[in-house]
Amino acid sequence: MLERDETVNPYKYVKDTPYRLYINGEFVPSQSGETIELINPVNNEKFATVYKGGKAEVEKAIVAARDAFDRGPWGRMTNYQRSKLLLKAHELMAERLEELAALEALNGGKIYSGCLHYDAVKGLDGLQYSAGQARCLEGKVIPVDGGGRFLNYVIWQPRGVVAEILPWNCPLMMGTINAAAALAAGNTVIIKPSSWTPLSMLVMAEIFHEAGFPPGVVNIITGSGAHVGSALVESPRVDFISLTGGTETGREIIAQSSATIKDIALELGGKSPNIIFPDIQWEAAVKWARSAFTMSSGQICVAGTRLILHRSIYDEFLENLKAECEKLVPGDGFHGDKGVNLPPLIHKDHAARVWGYIEKAKAEGARLITGGVPYSDPVLAKGNFVPPTIFADVTPEMTVFREEIFGPVLAVTPFDTEREAIDLANNTPFGLAGAVFTNDGRRALRVAEAIHAGQIYVNTYFSKGIVESPGIGWKDSGLGAGGIQRYMRQKTIFVDINEEIITPP
């Protein structure tokens, strides 16, 4: 494994022919022959192509997954056997970790060292963790009084055919973790990566294939949400939809799934508050506030994009935060040796959307502290780079306070009292994450419990257990369980154990 400051040439891993879909244990082109061009966000140049799936490929995948679950060997395998297959996939993925990280960074315009030491490693950990969970799927026995001797036990069973719709910002990590959990639970899966970033999961198909998963158990199809995603959601033969994506996409899936009363789990957008009180460890709080909204250029659903800052430290903290943001170095994420730590946005259309939010914030009267104008460097101008942008004196009525931007844009709002800070934090339709920085332990617990969100950080930011302790979105940020139980359903069974069967009255 490479050290953090080394570089790698990602193009040595790129195929010169279109990447194929993976359906029913075979790597196949799309029936239409259409392909999708993959664009490097650093320079907006094409570097690879993948076949574009459609409804025909969805139908084949559903038939394969349905048959593998209902009649194939998968349903007859023991938990131990499924666990062994996941451990084999873990072994094979570990051998190709550099390749997977390089393709993930190239396709998503990400920092390579981050992909290698976090995204890929967490995906790898997800396989191992789920392999263990497959051996520990326990139910429970409940004492009941039914007028005699009865045994009541509760078991968890797989949902069946699971469709996993992935986000474009972290497909390798989320795709591997979620697929591993679904497989450990005993489901078959159809994975639809984003059309912008499908590459790493198409390579993971090779790993699942080599590991020996039976045909139809894992299927991976690229294509548009309008065709592939909608066909999966609307099919009565797909039992469960799991989506990580935007809130508007989540609303569409809720509507589309209503025809089949399909179970769904949605991890959606966020506009997470980061509350900072004056009694803090100053340097750490400033650096975490910077990372909270600039990590991956703000393209993280739990990003702390609303800084709720105590008035007594307001100006001094912003001055320090501005200085920290201006230390960030934009560029190609494979140039860690040059100090590059600020990647581009995923796509030129998304970058244009973020710039639109920046201009709207200016027009609505927010005070620009830093950033807010494009880089002048002609090399950076070829890509989708947006500098860290801080707006101060933001009020709850402003668009930059209310709407998810998904870029390195921070809205800063002052507060005086703890109650005011909590009210500002909860003044949003989102409820994904939040943070509080204070050296007062009792205050930290009060505020953490008062924030209306599913994942809270105290004197830090970002999850420290994304595999072991998955977050749950509140309000417009999602619904459904996390972890392996997302992919299972509960069944309660009553057994008459009397010597003679009790007849009904």
CATH number of the domain that residue 121 is part of:
3.40.605.10
pLDDT score, position 3 = 42
Note whether residue 437 is domain-resident: yes
Residues 373 and 417 in one domain: yes
Q: Which long-range contacts (CB under 8 A, 24 or more apart) does 33-36 make?
A: 36/195, 36/198, 36/222
CATH number at residue 361: 3.40.309.10
Note whether residue 427 is domain-resident: yes
Note whether residue 497 is domain-resident: no
Spell out the residues 6+ positions from residue 86 whose beta carbon is closer than 8 angstroms to its own.
Answer: 127, 128, 130, 131, 134, 180, 183, 184, 211
Structure tokens at 418: 């703890």
Residues 115 and 136 in one domain: yes
Tell me whether residue 267 is one of the annotated catalytic residues: yes
One of 301, 325, 404, 418 is an active-site residue; which one?
301
Residues 319 and 207 in one domain: no
Residues 252 and 335 in one domain: no
Structure tokens at 500: 């003679």
d(CA 165, CA 263): 14
d(CA 296, CA 328): 12
Note whether residue 350 is domain-resident: yes
Structure tokens at 259: 């025809």
Distances (CA, A) of 496 to 81, 146, 233, 461, 490: 33, 9, 40, 52, 20
Q: Is residue 194 a contact partner of residue 164, using CB atoms and an 8 Å limit? A: no
Tell me whether residue 301 is one of the annotated catalytic residues: yes
Note whether residue 8 is domain-resident: no
Distances (CA, A) of 131 to 82, 183, 343, 465: 7, 9, 34, 17
pLDDT score, position 4 = 41
pLDDT digits (tens, 9 = 90+) for 55-89: 999 999 999 999 999 999 999 999 999 999 999 99
Q: Tell me how far apart the terminal alpha carbons of the chain are, to the nearest angstrom.
A: 70
Q: By residue range, what is the domain housing residue 164?
A: 22-40+51-268+480-490
Note whether residue 209 is domain-resident: yes
Residues 226 and 298 in one domain: no
Q: Collect the ranges in the chain with pLDDT lower than 50.
A: 1-5
Residues 69 and 194 in one domain: yes
pLDDT score, position 149 = 87
d(CA 70, CA 72): 6
Q: Where would I find the beta strands (DSSP E) of 100-178?
A: 140-142, 150-158, 161-165
Residues 89 and 228 in one domain: yes
Q: Is residue 104 a contact partner of residue 115, using CB atoms and an 8 Å limit? A: yes
pLDDT digits (tens, 9 = 90+) for 278-304: 999 999 999 999 999 999 999 999 999
Residues 303 and 400 in one domain: yes
CB-CB neighbours of 337 under 10 Å:
9
pLDDT score, position 7 = 67
One of 267, 325, 404, 418 is an active-site residue; which one?
267
Residues 73 and 132 in one domain: yes
Residues 334 and 229 in one domain: no
Q: How many domains, the chain?
A: 2
Note whether residue 355 is domain-resident: yes
Among the listed residues 470, 484, 489, the one whose alpha carbon sits nearest the alpha carbon of residue 82: 484
Residues 85 and 180 in one domain: yes
Residues 95 and 160 in one domain: yes
pLDDT score, position 481 = 83
Note whether residue 384 is domain-resident: yes
Among the listed residues 266, 216, 205, 267, the one whose alpha carbon sits nearest the alpha carbon of residue 241: 266
